[in-house]
Chains A and B, each alone.
Chain A
Amino acid sequence: MTAWEPGDEVDAGLSALRVHDALPERTERIRERCLARLAARRRPPRAGDEGAIRWRAWLEPAVALGLCVLYLAEAVTRALAVYH
């Protein structure tokens, strides 16, 4: 079976299809947004950003762990109160 047989009317029709484009203001907006994001990616992180990233790296798990401990302690306390 041949997947593509060039030279027939289907091919001629497909190659006659126009190439369309988005509206100019939309294409410009997309370009600007993408270039802004690329520029943001290229920008090296500031010293303050790095410090914040380091803090968050251990602070978030520590807070989550603390909340878990408090919740478990409360649950155990209530369970013991019911038991007694």
Chain B
Amino acid sequence: MEREIELRLVARLKAGDGAAFEAVYEAFRPRLFSFLVRLSHRRDVAEDLLEETWLRLVARAGDLTDETRLGPWLFTVARNLFASWCRHRSLDENRLSDLVPSWPGARPRESPFEAAARAELERRVETALARLPLADREVLLLVGVEGLTPAEAAAVCGISSVTLRARLHRARARLAAGMGTSRAELRAKAG
């Protein structure tokens, strides 16, 4: 989202403009949901947290500063809600049930070969991501998938930029290793 448009939307949101809310909702809802579902591995939980995130935005819209970055703000709220949910439910972070790739998602038209290659890559990434510790997973999702800058992601996670960069480096290495493992597993299954 362009910064000028974002600034205008923030101003209108502060004034309680429903159309501005709709624009922000359409722009960020799928991204937030994808983020939450990859953290929690559960659609029902992700939907509950998604709803709470948007309700928080509406409740606090009047308190937003003029310079608020909507993306980092929303991801911070979503992440904090997920952390609260984990504390509340004593979630086992390493659950691998209900993996995301089995769900349908919007895709442009592609050839069967491209679709098969992409599906294989996607499955490897999703599997490797799901096996990462939560702290690694969230930095990869924020920077690698959602496109937040390291500084923004650090603010979302409540850590310093230096710590985030170190964590990101480690997470990338673990993901790459995990993807290698996943490929070996897939080949073993196919063979």
Q: Which of A11-26 contact B (CB under 8 A)?
A: 11-23, 26
B171 shortest CB reach to chain A, Å: 9
Count of A-B contacts judged by CB separation below 8 Å:
119
A39 and B34 alpha carbons, distance in the complex (Å): 28
A26 and B29 alpha carbons, distance in the complex (Å): 11
Interface of B, secondary structure class, is: helix
* Candidates A20, A33, A41, A42; contact of B37 at CB < 8 Å: A20
Q: B62 to A41, Cβ gap below 8 A?
A: yes
Q: A17 to B145, Cβ gap below 8 A?
A: yes
B43 contact set on A, CB distance < 8 A: 22
A13 and B128 alpha carbons, distance in the complex (Å): 10
B106 contact set on A, CB distance < 8 A: 18-19
A5 and B144 alpha carbons, distance in the complex (Å): 10
Given contacts A14-B145, A20-B33, contact A37 B25 (CB under 8 A): no
Q: A33 to B51, Cβ gap below 8 A?
A: yes
B145 contact set on A, CB distance < 8 A: 14-15, 17
A47 shortest CB reach to chain B, Å: 21
Interface residues on B, range: 35 or more
A51 and B86 alpha carbons, distance in the complex (Å): 43
B40 shortest CB reach to chain A, Å: 12
Q: Mark B136-178, 1 if CB is under 8 A from A, else 0.
A: 0000100111000010000000000000111011001001100
| Interface residue ranges, B against A (CB under 8 Å) | 16-18, 21-22, 25, 29-31, 33-34, 37-38, 43, 46-47, 50-51, 54-55, 57-59, 61-62, 100-101, 103, 105-107, 118, 121-122, 124-126, 128, 140, 143-145, 150, 164-166, 168-169, 172, 175-176, 179
| Interface residue ranges, A against B (CB under 8 Å) | 1-5, 8-23, 26-27, 29-31, 33-35, 37-39, 41-42
